[in-house]
Amino acid sequence: MSARWLQRTVLAAVTLLLLGLTAHAVGLQALLAGWRVLSPLTVLAALAAGLIVALTQAVRWKALAAEQQIHLSFRRAWGDCYASAFGNMVLPGGLGGDVARVAVYRHRGRRRWWSPVLAVGAERLSATACLFIVTALVVGASAQQGEAQWPAAVVAAVAAALFLAAAIVCLRGVPARRQLIVWSASALSVLTLIGLFLLAMAQLGGPVHAPVATVGLASMSVPVGVGGWGVREFSVGALAPAMGVPAGQAVTAATGYGVLAVVSTLPGAAVLARGAWRRAARPGYRVSGP
Protein backbone atom coordinates (compact mmCIF):
# COMPACT_ATOMS: atom_id res chain seq x y z
CA MET A 1 0.00 0.00 0.00
CA SER A 2 1.40 3.40 -1.02
CA ALA A 3 1.89 6.20 1.49
CA ARG A 4 -0.91 8.18 -0.14
CA TRP A 5 -3.42 5.36 0.17
CA LEU A 6 -2.32 4.71 3.73
CA GLN A 7 -2.88 8.37 4.59
CA ARG A 8 -6.33 8.36 3.02
CA THR A 9 -7.25 5.16 4.81
CA VAL A 10 -6.18 6.61 8.16
CA LEU A 11 -8.13 9.83 7.60
CA ALA A 12 -11.25 7.92 6.54
CA ALA A 13 -10.88 5.80 9.68
CA VAL A 14 -10.63 8.97 11.79
CA THR A 15 -13.90 10.18 10.28
CA LEU A 16 -15.66 6.93 11.12
CA LEU A 17 -14.16 6.90 14.62
CA LEU A 18 -15.33 10.43 15.41
CA LEU A 19 -18.79 9.76 13.99
CA GLY A 20 -18.94 6.56 16.05
CA LEU A 21 -17.96 8.38 19.24
CA THR A 22 -20.55 11.06 18.53
CA ALA A 23 -23.27 8.49 17.90
CA HIS A 24 -22.32 6.72 21.13
CA ALA A 25 -22.62 9.98 23.06
CA VAL A 26 -25.86 11.39 21.62
CA GLY A 27 -27.42 8.47 19.74
CA LEU A 28 -27.32 7.47 16.09
CA GLN A 29 -30.68 9.11 15.45
CA ALA A 30 -29.19 12.55 16.15
CA LEU A 31 -26.81 12.01 13.24
CA LEU A 32 -29.36 10.51 10.86
CA ALA A 33 -31.93 13.23 11.57
CA GLY A 34 -29.69 15.74 9.85
CA TRP A 35 -30.76 14.38 6.46
CA ARG A 36 -34.20 15.90 7.06
CA VAL A 37 -32.61 19.22 6.13
CA LEU A 38 -33.10 18.45 2.44
CA SER A 39 -35.95 20.22 0.67
CA PRO A 40 -36.23 22.03 -2.67
CA LEU A 41 -35.73 25.36 -0.87
CA THR A 42 -32.64 24.29 1.10
CA VAL A 43 -31.08 22.64 -1.95
CA LEU A 44 -31.49 25.89 -3.91
CA ALA A 45 -30.12 27.84 -0.94
CA ALA A 46 -27.11 25.54 -0.72
CA LEU A 47 -26.38 25.92 -4.43
CA ALA A 48 -26.73 29.70 -4.11
CA ALA A 49 -24.38 29.72 -1.13
CA GLY A 50 -21.90 27.59 -3.05
CA LEU A 51 -22.10 30.02 -5.95
CA ILE A 52 -21.39 33.01 -3.71
CA VAL A 53 -18.49 31.24 -2.00
CA ALA A 54 -17.00 30.14 -5.34
CA LEU A 55 -17.30 33.66 -6.77
CA THR A 56 -15.72 35.34 -3.76
CA GLN A 57 -12.98 32.72 -3.68
CA ALA A 58 -12.35 33.28 -7.40
CA VAL A 59 -11.91 37.01 -6.72
CA ARG A 60 -9.22 36.17 -4.15
CA TRP A 61 -7.57 33.48 -6.25
CA LYS A 62 -7.38 35.63 -9.41
CA ALA A 63 -6.01 38.64 -7.55
CA LEU A 64 -3.40 36.70 -5.60
CA ALA A 65 -2.38 34.54 -8.57
CA ALA A 66 -1.76 37.73 -10.58
CA GLU A 67 0.62 38.89 -7.83
CA GLN A 68 2.65 35.76 -8.54
CA GLN A 69 2.47 36.38 -12.32
CA ILE A 70 -0.08 33.62 -12.82
CA HIS A 71 -2.63 35.32 -15.05
CA LEU A 72 -6.12 33.82 -15.17
CA SER A 73 -9.43 34.81 -16.64
CA PHE A 74 -12.16 35.20 -14.04
CA ARG A 75 -14.04 32.29 -15.63
CA ARG A 76 -10.97 30.05 -15.25
CA ALA A 77 -10.46 31.17 -11.64
CA TRP A 78 -14.11 30.49 -10.88
CA GLY A 79 -13.90 26.99 -12.34
CA ASP A 80 -10.70 26.34 -10.39
CA CYS A 81 -12.41 27.30 -7.13
CA TYR A 82 -15.50 25.19 -7.75
CA ALA A 83 -13.34 22.17 -8.60
CA SER A 84 -11.10 22.82 -5.60
CA ALA A 85 -14.10 23.03 -3.25
CA PHE A 86 -15.45 19.71 -4.51
CA GLY A 87 -12.01 18.11 -4.13
CA ASN A 88 -11.71 19.40 -0.58
CA MET A 89 -15.13 17.93 0.19
CA VAL A 90 -14.55 14.41 -1.12
CA LEU A 91 -10.82 13.85 -0.58
CA PRO A 92 -9.49 12.93 2.88
CA GLY A 93 -7.83 15.75 4.79
CA GLY A 94 -9.96 18.58 3.42
CA LEU A 95 -7.07 20.07 1.43
CA GLY A 96 -6.96 17.77 -1.60
CA GLY A 97 -8.59 20.29 -3.91
CA ASP A 98 -6.15 23.01 -2.90
CA VAL A 99 -3.18 20.71 -3.34
CA ALA A 100 -4.45 19.82 -6.82
CA ARG A 101 -4.78 23.53 -7.65
CA VAL A 102 -1.16 24.09 -6.67
CA ALA A 103 -0.08 21.12 -8.78
CA VAL A 104 -1.95 22.38 -11.87
CA TYR A 105 -0.13 25.73 -11.76
CA ARG A 106 3.24 24.43 -10.54
CA HIS A 107 5.06 25.48 -13.73
CA ARG A 108 3.59 28.98 -13.87
CA GLY A 109 4.46 32.16 -12.04
CA ARG A 110 7.70 33.73 -10.92
CA ARG A 111 8.98 30.85 -8.81
CA ARG A 112 7.29 27.73 -10.17
CA TRP A 113 5.92 25.66 -7.27
CA TRP A 114 6.35 28.44 -4.75
CA SER A 115 4.17 30.90 -6.69
CA PRO A 116 0.93 28.85 -6.59
CA VAL A 117 1.70 27.75 -3.02
CA LEU A 118 1.81 31.39 -1.90
CA ALA A 119 -1.29 32.36 -3.87
CA VAL A 120 -3.39 29.41 -2.70
CA GLY A 121 -2.03 29.73 0.84
CA ALA A 122 -2.89 33.42 1.09
CA GLU A 123 -6.32 32.82 -0.41
CA ARG A 124 -7.22 30.06 2.03
CA LEU A 125 -5.55 31.57 5.10
CA SER A 126 -7.38 34.88 4.69
CA ALA A 127 -10.74 33.09 4.79
CA THR A 128 -9.70 30.84 7.68
CA ALA A 129 -8.47 33.82 9.69
CA CYS A 130 -11.79 35.60 9.11
CA LEU A 131 -13.68 32.49 10.22
CA PHE A 132 -11.76 32.20 13.50
CA ILE A 133 -12.02 35.94 14.17
CA VAL A 134 -15.80 35.73 13.79
CA THR A 135 -15.88 32.55 15.91
CA ALA A 136 -13.89 34.21 18.71
CA LEU A 137 -16.16 37.27 18.64
CA VAL A 138 -19.42 35.30 18.53
CA VAL A 139 -18.44 32.76 21.17
CA GLY A 140 -16.84 35.46 23.31
CA ALA A 141 -19.98 37.60 23.20
CA SER A 142 -22.09 34.58 24.11
CA ALA A 143 -19.67 33.69 26.92
CA GLN A 144 -20.75 36.82 28.77
CA GLN A 145 -23.79 34.76 29.80
CA GLY A 146 -21.80 31.81 31.13
CA GLU A 147 -18.17 31.17 32.00
CA ALA A 148 -18.24 27.66 30.52
CA GLN A 149 -17.82 29.12 27.01
CA TRP A 150 -14.65 31.09 27.74
CA PRO A 151 -12.20 28.22 26.97
CA ALA A 152 -13.69 27.85 23.48
CA ALA A 153 -13.54 31.62 22.97
CA VAL A 154 -9.88 31.72 24.04
CA VAL A 155 -8.92 28.82 21.76
CA ALA A 156 -10.69 30.50 18.84
CA ALA A 157 -8.92 33.80 19.57
CA VAL A 158 -5.50 32.13 19.67
CA ALA A 159 -6.20 30.26 16.43
CA ALA A 160 -7.43 33.51 14.84
CA ALA A 161 -4.18 35.25 15.78
CA LEU A 162 -2.08 32.43 14.32
CA PHE A 163 -4.02 32.22 11.06
CA LEU A 164 -4.04 36.01 10.76
CA ALA A 165 -0.27 36.15 11.20
CA ALA A 166 0.21 33.41 8.59
CA ALA A 167 -2.10 35.19 6.15
CA ILE A 168 -0.25 38.49 6.63
CA VAL A 169 3.07 36.76 5.87
CA CYS A 170 1.65 35.24 2.67
CA LEU A 171 0.16 38.61 1.66
CA ARG A 172 3.42 40.47 2.18
CA GLY A 173 4.11 42.73 -0.79
CA VAL A 174 0.52 42.65 -2.07
CA PRO A 175 -0.79 46.23 -2.62
CA ALA A 176 -3.17 47.53 0.03
CA ARG A 177 -6.06 47.89 -2.43
CA ARG A 178 -5.75 44.28 -3.51
CA GLN A 179 -5.47 43.14 0.11
CA LEU A 180 -8.71 44.98 0.88
CA ILE A 181 -10.41 43.07 -1.94
CA VAL A 182 -9.05 39.77 -0.62
CA TRP A 183 -10.16 40.38 2.97
CA SER A 184 -13.58 41.66 1.92
CA ALA A 185 -14.17 38.61 -0.28
CA SER A 186 -13.03 36.34 2.55
CA ALA A 187 -15.44 37.96 5.00
CA LEU A 188 -18.35 37.55 2.56
CA SER A 189 -17.49 33.86 2.10
CA VAL A 190 -17.48 33.26 5.85
CA LEU A 191 -20.77 35.08 6.41
CA THR A 192 -22.35 33.05 3.61
CA LEU A 193 -21.28 29.75 5.19
CA ILE A 194 -22.51 30.84 8.62
CA GLY A 195 -25.83 31.75 7.02
CA LEU A 196 -26.07 28.29 5.45
CA PHE A 197 -25.37 26.65 8.83
CA LEU A 198 -28.07 28.78 10.49
CA LEU A 199 -30.47 27.84 7.69
CA ALA A 200 -29.83 24.17 8.41
CA MET A 201 -30.61 24.79 12.08
CA ALA A 202 -33.86 26.57 11.24
CA GLN A 203 -34.91 23.87 8.77
CA LEU A 204 -34.35 21.20 11.42
CA GLY A 205 -36.44 23.00 14.03
CA GLY A 206 -33.77 24.98 15.84
CA PRO A 207 -32.48 26.33 18.04
CA VAL A 208 -30.78 28.78 15.68
CA HIS A 209 -27.58 29.38 17.62
CA ALA A 210 -24.73 31.33 16.04
CA PRO A 211 -21.96 30.09 18.42
CA VAL A 212 -22.69 26.46 17.50
CA ALA A 213 -22.58 27.37 13.81
CA THR A 214 -19.23 29.16 14.06
CA VAL A 215 -17.69 26.40 16.19
CA GLY A 216 -18.90 23.78 13.73
CA LEU A 217 -17.40 25.65 10.79
CA ALA A 218 -14.13 26.39 12.59
CA SER A 219 -13.68 22.73 13.53
CA MET A 220 -13.75 21.83 9.83
CA SER A 221 -10.46 23.69 9.44
CA VAL A 222 -8.73 20.84 11.27
CA PRO A 223 -7.27 18.75 8.39
CA VAL A 224 -8.53 15.36 9.52
CA GLY A 225 -11.28 13.17 8.20
CA VAL A 226 -13.22 13.60 4.98
CA GLY A 227 -15.11 16.78 4.12
CA GLY A 228 -15.28 17.92 7.73
CA TRP A 229 -17.43 14.93 8.67
CA GLY A 230 -16.79 13.55 12.11
CA VAL A 231 -14.70 16.40 13.49
CA ARG A 232 -17.60 18.83 12.97
CA GLU A 233 -20.21 16.63 14.68
CA PHE A 234 -17.86 15.59 17.48
CA SER A 235 -16.84 19.20 18.20
CA VAL A 236 -20.33 20.68 18.38
CA GLY A 237 -21.59 17.69 20.36
CA ALA A 238 -18.83 18.16 22.93
CA LEU A 239 -19.12 21.95 23.23
CA ALA A 240 -22.86 22.50 22.76
CA PRO A 241 -23.84 21.89 26.41
CA ALA A 242 -21.43 24.65 27.52
CA MET A 243 -23.14 26.95 25.03
CA GLY A 244 -26.60 26.15 26.34
CA VAL A 245 -27.70 23.91 23.45
CA PRO A 246 -28.64 20.22 23.78
CA ALA A 247 -25.83 18.10 22.30
CA GLY A 248 -28.21 16.01 20.19
CA GLN A 249 -29.75 19.06 18.54
CA ALA A 250 -26.32 20.54 17.83
CA VAL A 251 -25.12 17.30 16.25
CA THR A 252 -28.24 17.10 14.09
CA ALA A 253 -27.67 20.67 12.93
CA ALA A 254 -24.02 19.91 12.14
CA THR A 255 -25.01 16.88 10.11
CA GLY A 256 -27.64 18.90 8.29
CA TYR A 257 -25.09 21.57 7.46
CA GLY A 258 -22.73 18.87 6.21
CA VAL A 259 -25.39 17.61 3.80
CA LEU A 260 -26.01 21.13 2.47
CA ALA A 261 -22.27 21.75 2.21
CA VAL A 262 -21.92 18.71 -0.03
CA VAL A 263 -24.78 19.98 -2.21
CA SER A 264 -23.12 23.41 -2.45
CA THR A 265 -19.96 21.92 -3.99
CA LEU A 266 -21.64 19.62 -6.53
CA PRO A 267 -21.15 22.03 -9.45
CA GLY A 268 -17.44 21.43 -8.92
CA ALA A 269 -17.97 17.83 -10.01
CA ALA A 270 -19.46 19.12 -13.26
CA VAL A 271 -16.42 21.38 -13.75
CA LEU A 272 -14.07 18.42 -13.28
CA ALA A 273 -16.13 16.22 -15.60
CA ARG A 274 -16.13 18.90 -18.28
CA GLY A 275 -12.37 19.29 -17.99
CA ALA A 276 -11.85 15.53 -18.27
CA TRP A 277 -14.13 15.36 -21.33
CA ARG A 278 -12.28 18.21 -23.04
CA ARG A 279 -8.92 16.55 -22.39
CA ALA A 280 -10.21 13.24 -23.76
CA ALA A 281 -11.46 15.00 -26.89
CA ARG A 282 -8.03 16.40 -27.75
CA PRO A 283 -6.30 14.81 -30.77
CA GLY A 284 -3.72 12.26 -29.72
CA TYR A 285 -5.14 11.82 -26.22
CA ARG A 286 -5.19 8.28 -24.95
CA VAL A 287 -5.68 6.57 -21.63
CA SER A 288 -2.58 4.71 -20.51
CA GLY A 289 -3.09 0.99 -20.26
CA PRO A 290 -1.67 -1.45 -17.73
- Within-domain flag for 289: no
Measured CA to CA, the distance from residue 23 to residue 7 in angstroms comes to 24
Count structural domains, the chain: 1
pLDDT, position 274: 81
What's the whole-model pTM score?
0.90
Query: Block means of pLDDT (10 residues each) for the chain, length 290 residues?
Result: 74 89 92 94 97 96 92 92 92 84 85 87 94 93 69 90 94 92 96 96 90 94 86 92 89 96 94 74 46
- Within-domain flag for 56: yes
Measured CA to CA, the distance from residue 277 to residue 120 in angstroms comes to 26
Integer angstrom CA distances of residue 11 from 15, 43, 78, 100, 251: 6, 28, 28, 18, 20
- Within-domain flag for 275: no
pLDDT, position 281: 57
- Within-domain flag for 145: yes
- Within-domain flag for 283: no
- Within-domain flag for 62: yes
Integer angstrom CA distances of residue 39 from 96, 198, 203, 267: 29, 15, 9, 18
- Within-domain flag for 288: no
- Within-domain flag for 281: no
> Containing domain of residue 140, as a range?
7-270
